[in-house]
Amino acid sequence: MGELLRVAWAVAAKDLRLEFRSRTAFVSALVFTALVLAIFNFARDPTAVSAVDLAPGILWITFTFAGMLGLNRAFGLERENRALDGLLLSPASRTALYLGKVLANLVFVGAVEAIALPLFALFFNVPILPVLGPLVLVIALATVGFVAVGTLMSSMAVNTRLAELMLPVLLLPFLVPPVTAAVQITAHLFSSRPFSEVSGWLRLLVGYDVIFVAACILFFESTIEE
């Protein structure tokens, strides 16, 4: 187990070092996120609907799109330099490789979310500080599920002819349970409703994470095997 985590960490660290050396992908993702948030402001009638009503949906659609951008770059890096072959020849287990990729993606997407969240609060005048703890928890839970399935899907999509188009087609149906749950819980938090009302959604979110992380670990091997 320790070996597994050590190798996963090494894979993640390599990815992240590469990423932050050039920072292009990260900065682009940030700019993209800010732009999407800004566009959402104009994509509504401010007199008809209050920002707080739409805010949870806006937040999570923004996170979803930014997350998919982040996922796309993950295996694209490898493919460019045929670096994946080198990784596969190494004695690292496929599971460690997968976990490493997930970890790197989590850091990348998490960093984008961490900057996007205050920006979102600013643009839409949403008081997030009183509910920051539970909000971060929900974001973390949904992001784990999103990144786990997304990493697996992007490992397949990157080998197809239309990789950037393929990823959303593969991934979006799988995002409906976690994103729906996240939006509903977020809406409850913003309107200061009791947390107990969303226990069903929380259970769904946790259950999704457990089942799909396990399934993706199990099946990642089949997407890489020679």
Partner 1 sequence: MTPTEPAERALRRTVPWIAVALALVAVVYVRALVCTPVEAVQGPAQKIFYIHVPSAWVAFLAFGIVGVTSVVYLFIKDPRLDLFAACAAEVGMVFTTAVLVTGPIWGKPIWGTWWTWDARLTLTLFLWFVIMAYLVLRGAVSEPGQRARYSAVLGILGALLVPFIHVSVYLFRTMHPLPVVLRPGRPTLPGAMLVTLLLGFAVFTFLFVALLRYRYLLARLADVRTQAEAERADA
Which residue, 96 or 148, is less far from partner 1 as judged by CB? 148
Minimum gap (Å) between residue 204 Cβ and partner 1: 6
Provide the binding-site residues for partner 1, judged by CB under 8 A.
149, 152, 156, 159-162, 166, 169-170, 172-174, 176-177, 180-181, 184, 200-201, 204, 207-208, 211-212, 215-216, 219, 222-223, 225
The string over 36-65, giving b where at least 16 C-beta atoms fall within 10 Å of a residue's C-beta and e elsewhere, is bbeebeeeeeeeeeeeeebbbebbbbbbbe
Minimum gap (Å) between residue 121 Cβ and partner 1: 25
Which residue, 33 or 105, is less far from partner 1 as judged by CB? 105
Answer for the pair 183, 57: CB distance below 8 angstroms, yes or no.
yes
Answer for the pair 73, 14: CB distance below 8 angstroms, yes or no.
no
Answer for the pair 197, 181: CB distance below 8 angstroms, yes or no.
no
Which residue, 25 or 141, is less far from partner 1 as judged by CB? 141
Q: What distance lies between CA 6 and its chain's CA centroid? A: 23
Which residue, 47 or 192, is less far from partner 1 as judged by CB? 192
Q: How far is CA 92 from CA 83, 87, 104, 153, in A?
A: 14, 7, 16, 21
Which residue, 58 or 213, is less far from partner 1 as judged by CB? 213
- Which residue reads 């990642």 in tokens? 220
Which residue, 91 or 173, is less far from partner 1 as judged by CB? 173
Answer for the pair 152, 71: CB distance below 8 angstroms, yes or no.
no
- Which residue reads 């050396």 in tokens? 21
Minimum gap (Å) between residue 192 Cβ and partner 1: 17
Minimum gap (Å) between residue 168 Cβ and partner 1: 10
Minimum gap (Å) between residue 171 Cβ and partner 1: 9
Minimum gap (Å) between residue 116 Cβ and partner 1: 24
